[in-house]
Chains A and B, each alone.
Chain A
């Protein structure tokens, strides 16, 4: 447990609306990650950050953007939500480049109707 919280924990939204999910950590970890989890796919990386204002795309980044203006916060934005983005979203952190452990937040269940 790396003091990771996610908000909201559950959200229902309509197709076409923007949605922002927040990940907050208290351990001053350098790396932060956003994943989505879908049946049959395991976890897939959306975006990750290796420092304030430093982000990179993962394998399923289309339709998502991220921002990290402070070490402790990593925001994931769905610019125009679609039903295919209905999923469980997990945030994770890793302390630094030479650290191995990745810690996961509790998850956000997003439903796009």
Chain B
């Protein structure tokens, strides 16, 4: 069974600061996803990372993937209140179609 660990589980940060969320997984995977979830809402896709060294950026969020270390990071630059949400990573095993999710990181950006 594939295990996916995120840390931190809770993150409170001030506006304007930078921080990184980490996602470690236990088995070889060829795809890694990042999702955002607002309270009481569904999941919204942020990034799909498909290869070692992949880096994607959207606004103040940047995601990267190191398949050798089985690690993905989601870096937040100059946080703003609108980024407050829960962020999930998910992986898919090669040739599979089952998604394994991390426990999520609840981010609160404080003015």
Contact = CB atoms under 8 A, between A and B. Distances in A.
A and B from one assembly? yes
Interface size bracket, A side: 20 to 34
Dominant secondary structure of chain B at its interface with chain A = strand
B97 A45 contact: no
Given A41-B103, A42-B103, A43-B88, A104 B43 contact: yes
A58 interface: yes
Contacts of A107: 41-42
Nearest to A45: B98
Contacts of A40: 103
A42 B102 contact: yes
A48 B97 CA distance: 9
Contacts of A102: 33, 45, 99
Contacts of B33: 102
Interface string B36-56: 000001111100101000000
6 closest Cβ contacts across the A-B interface? A42-B101, A43-B101, A42-B103, A104-B43, A104-B42, A100-B48
Interface of B: 1, 4, 6, 31, 33, 41-45, 48, 50, 88, 90, 97-104
